[in-house]
Every structure is written in structure tokens, then in C-alpha cells.
């Protein structure tokens, strides 16, 4: 993994601190690539295919139980091997399957995000729209469904999935158009700011492919093996997987969400008719479609790899590292920025809750409520720019945030980086940071300052990596200098120098 604009990022500001933060970011992002873990999942020996091991146990279908022994297939008994999937990390996982199985693969189709490089050689890749589904994604999803439907007894279907699949695997249910779906998405996300979980509960019910692969693969006796990159973190405890409870997936729940969000009356009529009809052939999987079927699940990547990779690199650099929270989700980016910036100041001034030099690491995804604003940006760019005023003047603090998939919001950049010099540099450049934040125009500000983090699309999706770096606790001389700049009042100065 590389950051493409390191030279620009290190041409100004707190260069020493920036170097450390960028090294930590690179290590975290490298650890989040699902390719190597997927390769470790598969093994061919003595004309047998082994899937799974003690590092990646088998998860039982639709449950939390695990099985430590790998799946074993006699290759002489396997008729066809298909590889399908969709999501921001799907192609990297499929590429690893391809590297292990090679010409054993009969056919494959994966939907990946536009802008991502093409890694797969044998498996066909369709580059599709995200976050707004497009016709390319629909066509790719149709090809996936064709492959799943033709799988028969003796065949194996590897399905590679990750976050982003809801958009990239969009296949509208009967009678619904892509335009219908996108209008519902627009109302839920942009107009009424429905939570991601509730919005997805609606989107999943309006498509024919997402989360229902057993319906087609296992119907004729084929084996389904799902390889998954999870956006969150996961723990195995007492032989069981600990996960948050899944949201309700039903036609009625989708209707209730639309009504609560005040979207139902504005929804296209084909959407309302489809949900009210509640056709079980396209709805949630029924017990008879799952029970006893040869369907297995392997999780090869999650956000803990991202966070732990960053932590280990910080400690290699001689800096104490603390993973403060793995999933800060659903809060406004500017509010999260305020808490983290004040935490950085507390560490710098008081050495609490951690003693500097140190790094504090956060994961998860924040929100940005755009409203009528016309600016451009993403949650990571808005986060770092919002924190800049609160660390202005500090010679010790650097804050960075970037999306693990390499693209932040509707931009080509992964995120951004700021330090105590950012506000002064913005002022010198004639940029009003507060005015631009009010217009959610973080992209333009960071572009002007040369503070974007550019990685390109990375083929993974384990949410964001946010880093606070604080170099040293302030000496008495530093405190005097801070007070002379108006960054510290006299009462605080006396309290800190007792």
C-alpha cells in the first residue's frame, strides 16, 4: 500500500509528526488488504481442496456456531468451481481465490467499484457505480445470478462479499426500475437522513440478489462458500462468534422504515406495490431454503486488522499506541472531531488519559448531514478540517483520517491530514475554514493546502482509520510560549506549572 502524495504532505507543517502519522496509516491500510488472508484460507494437497483452518474457522450458515476443522473436497468429485461476488473488497478476495485455484475455476463474475484496478485475470470483473447503483452494476448482477442458478450438485460456488455490495450488487426486484431504487435511496439518505442500518433494511428488500444466495446456489445441490470482509470487528469467545444483532429483514419492516422516515408517500408506486405484495419468492430466505443446505461462511478480514496494524506500527516507531474505540459510527463527523481534538489537547497539556508521545487510534464511520450545502467532501475530510481550529497553534498535534477503501465520499481522495499549523496556512491562503465547513466544502480547502491523502481505490472496506498523534507534553517554556500566543490563559498556566 502506498500514499501517492507523501512528498506534498511532508512539504509543510509539522513534518516530523506527519511522517509518523503517515507511516502508521500505511501500516494500518496494508494490514486491511484481504488478499493474503484469503490465500491462507485455501489449500490444495493430495488432489484435495481444503477450505478453512484454525485462523479462519467455518461459520455455520445463518448462525454464530463455528467449526474448527476445514472443509475438504475431493477434486475428482468436483464438477465445476464458480467464483462470484460484489463489494469494495470482493475483487481482492476473488483475485486470491484465482491465484490458488487457477484453471480449476470454470467461470466467474465479480462486481467492483469503478476506479478500482483490474486484478483478476480469469474471473470477469464489472466495474459498477457506488454509492449510487448504475446499469453496469445491474448487468453484472444479472450475470452473477445466471451463474448461481446453473450451479448443480457437485459444483462449488465461492461468493466473495464485502461492504459496498448493497450498491454494487443491485438487481431490482420484479417491476422495480433502477430509477425507482435510486429515488428511494435519495429520499432515505439525502432528504431524510435515515440511519444506514434502517436504509439498508429497505434496500435489501427491494433487490433480488443481496443476502439470498442460498436460494439459487443450494437449490440444485451445489455448495455455497461465502468469503467475507466485515466492516466491523469480531471476537471468538467460548467457541461462538460475538456479533451485534441483525436488523429485521422483512417486507413489513421496510414499509415501517419508509413510513417512519416520511418517505412512504413519496416513494415510487412500483416500490410500494412490490413491498405490499410481499412475494416470498423474492423476500428473506425461508427456513427450508437454509436448513441442512451446504452453505458455509468464512470471515477473512475485519476492522481489527486495520486498527491492530496501525497500533503495531506506532509501537515499532517507539510511540505508545492506544486503540480508543473500534467503531465510532453514526455521529456527525464534526462532533467526533471536536471530542478527538479536545482529547489531543488534554494529552498535550495534562498528559491524560495517555502520556505523550502517544498515538490514539479510532475506527468506524462518521456521518455528514449535507442539507442544502453545495460543497464537496467526505466524512474523513470534514472530520480533519473540523478538528483544525481546535488544535491551532499546537506544535505537537497531528490528526489524520482516511477511508480504508481509498475513496472518501464522492471524491478520489482517501481523506486528509491537519496539524497545529493548518489554520495559519489557510488564513495565509485566503481561505475561511469556518465558512467552507458551513458549506461542507472540505475537499476544496484541503486541496488548496495540499493536505489530502491520496491512495487510489484499494480493494478493501473496513471503515475508516482516524489517528491522533501528540509528540510531547509541554515544558514550562512551551507553556509560556503558548500563553503569549493566546492559546493558554493565566489560570491554566499557573495550574499546569505548580
- Domain of 218, CATH number, reads 3.40.50.10180
Burial of 486 (0-12, 13-18, 19+ CB in 10 A): exposed
- Give the ranges where 161-302 is alpha helix by DSSP (H): 165-168, 178-186, 196-205, 214-217, 251-260, 269-277, 287-290
Contacts of 335 (CB under 8 A, 6+ apart): none
Q: What distance in Å separates the CA atoms of residue 367 and residue 347, rounded to the nearest whole number? A: 26
- Judge if 10 and 143 occupy the same domain: no
Q: Are residues 23 and 75 in the same domain?
A: no
**Which cell numbers hold the place of 129?**
457505480
Say yes or no: 228 and 336 in one domain.
no
Residues 482 and 358 grouped into a single domain? yes
pLDDT at res. 477: 76
Residues 13 and 87 in one domain: no
> Is 261 in a helix, a strand, or coil?
coil
In a domain, 147, yes or no: yes
Would strands 320-325 and 358-362 be described as parallel, antiparallel, or unpaired? parallel
The pTM assigned to this predicted structure is 0.90
Instruction: Please give the pLDDT value at position 234.
Output: 61
Does a structural domain hold residue 256? no
Residue 374 lies in a domain: yes
Of the candidates 228, 218, 219, 227, which has an alpha carbon nearest to the alpha carbon of residue 294? 218
| Predicted local confidence at residue 473, as pLDDT | 65
Q: 315 with 294, same domain? A: no
Please check whether residues 156 and 230 belong to one and the same domain: yes
Residue 259 within a domain: no
In a domain, 165, yes or no: yes
390 plus 423 within the same structural domain: yes
Cell of 316: 515499532
Beta strands at 107-113 and 124-128: parallel, antiparallel or unpaired: parallel
Grid coordinates given for 349: 497539556
Does any domain span residue 463? yes
Ramachandran region of residue 291, left (φ > 0), alpha (ψ -120 to 50) or beta?
beta
Which are the contacts of 495, defined by CB distance < 8 A and separation ≥ 6? none
Please calculate the CA angle 130-135-140 and round it to the nearest 5 degrees: 85
pLDDT at residue 93 in the model: 98
Q: Are residues 19 and 53 in the same domain?
A: no
| CATH code where residue 479 lies | 3.40.1480.10
Q: Which of 301, 328, 345 is the last residue of a domain?
A: 301
- Identify whether residues 161 and 218 lie together within a single domain: yes
Residues of the chain with pLDDT under 70: 1, 60-65, 233-248, 473-475, 479, 482, 487-488, 492-498
pLDDT for 63: 52
Residues 361 and 216 in one domain: no
- Residue pair 472/396 in contact (Cβ under 8 Å)? The answer is yes
Please tell me the total count of domains within the chain.
2
Q: Show the CA angle centred on residue 413, arms to residues 412 and 416, nearest 5°.
A: 160
Domain range for 393 = 6-32+304-496
Is the same domain home to 379 and 477?
yes
- Would you say residue 202 lies in a domain? no
Spatial strand order in the sheet of 42-45: 42-45, 48-51, 71-74
Closest-CA residue to 231 (of 400, 61, 403, 367): 403
In a domain, 75, yes or no: yes
Amino acid at each position: 500500500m502506498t500514499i501517492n502524495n507523501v512528498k506534498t504532505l511532508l512539504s509543510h507543517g509539522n513534518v516530523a509528526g506527519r511522517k509518523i502519522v503517515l507511516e502508521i496509516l500505511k501500516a494500518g491500510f496494508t494490514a486491511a488488504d484481504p488478499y493474503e488472508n484469503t490465500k491462507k484460507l485455501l489449500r490444495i494437497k493430495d488432489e484435495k481442496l481444503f477450505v478453512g483452518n484454525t485462523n479462519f474457522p467455518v461459520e455455520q450458515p445463518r448462525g454464530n456456531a463455528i467449526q474448527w476443522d476445514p472443509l475438504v473436497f475431493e477434486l475428482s468429485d468436483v464438477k465445476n468451481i464458480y467464483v462470484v461476488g460484489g463489494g469494495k473488497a470482493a475483487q481482492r478476495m476473488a483475485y486470491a481465490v484465482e491465484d490458488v485455484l487457477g484453471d480449476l475455476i470454470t467461470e466467474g463474475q465479480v462486481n467492483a467499484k469503478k476506479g478500482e484496478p483490474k486484478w483478476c485475470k480469469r474471473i470477469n470483473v464489472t466495474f459498477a457505480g457506488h454509492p449510487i447503483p448504475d446499469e453496469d452494476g445491474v448487468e453484472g448482477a444479472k450475470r452473477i445470478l445466471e451463474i448461481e442458478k446453473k450451479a448443480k450438485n457437485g459444483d462449488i460456488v465461492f461468493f466473495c462479499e464485502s461492504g459496498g455490495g448493497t450498491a454494487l450488487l443491485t438487481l431490482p426486484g420484479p417491476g422495480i426500475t433502477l430509477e425507482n431504487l435510486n429515488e428511494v435511496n435519495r429520499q432515505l439518505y439525502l432528504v431524510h437522513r435515515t440511519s444506514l442500518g434502517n436504509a439498508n433494511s429497505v434496500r435489501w428488500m427491494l433487490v433480488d440478489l443481496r443476502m439470498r444466495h442460498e436460494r439459487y446456489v443450494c437449490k440444485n445441490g451445489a455448495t455455497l462458500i461465502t468469503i467475507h470482509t466485515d466492516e466491523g470487528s469480531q471476537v471468538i469467545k467460548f467457541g461462538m462468534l460475538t456479533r451485534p444483532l441483525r436488523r429485521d429483514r422483512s417486507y413489513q419492516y421496510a414499509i415501517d422504515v419508509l413510513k417512519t422516515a416520511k418517505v412512504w408517500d413519496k416513494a415510487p408506486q412500483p416500490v410500494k406495490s412490490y413491498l405490499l405484495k410481499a412475494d416470498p419468492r423474492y423476500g428473506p430466505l425461508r427456513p427450508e431454503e437454509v436448513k441442512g443446505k451446504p452453505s458455509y461462511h468464512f470471515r477473512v478480514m475485519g476492522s481489527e486488522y486495520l486498527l491492530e496494524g496501525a497500533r503495531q506500527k506506532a509501537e515499532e516507531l517507539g510511540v505508545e499506541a492506544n486503540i480508543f474505540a473500534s467503531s465510532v459510527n453514526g455521529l456527525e463527523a464534526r462532533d467526533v472531531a471536536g471530542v478527538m481534538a479536545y482529547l489531543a489537547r488534554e494529552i498535550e497539556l495534562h498528559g491524560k488519559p495517555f502520556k505523550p508521545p502517544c498515538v490514539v487510534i479510532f475506527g468506524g464511520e462518521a456521518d455528514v448531514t449535507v442539507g442544502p450545502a453545495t460543497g464537496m467532501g467526505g466524512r474523513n475530510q470534514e472530520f480533519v478540517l473540523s478538528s483544525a481550529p481546535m488544535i491551532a497553534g499546537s506544535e505537537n498535534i497531528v490528526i489524520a483520517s482516511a477511508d480504508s477503501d481509498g475513496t472518501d465520499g464522492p471524491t478520489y481522495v482517501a481523506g486528509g491530514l491537519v496539524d497545529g499549523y493548518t489554520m495559519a496556512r489557510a488564513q495565509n491562503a485566503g481561505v475561511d475554514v469556518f465558512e467552507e465547513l458551513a458549506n461542507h466544502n472540505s475537499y476544496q480547502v484541503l486541496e488548496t493546502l495540499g493536505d489530502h491523502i491520496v491512495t487510489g481505490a484499494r480493494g478493501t472496506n473496513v471503515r475508516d482509520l482516524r489517528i491522533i498523534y501528540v509528540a510531547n507534553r509541554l515544558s514550562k517554556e512551551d507553556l509560556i510560549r503558548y500563553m503569549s500566543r493566546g492559546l493558554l490563559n493565566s489560570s491554566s498556566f499557573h495550574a499546569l506549572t505548580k
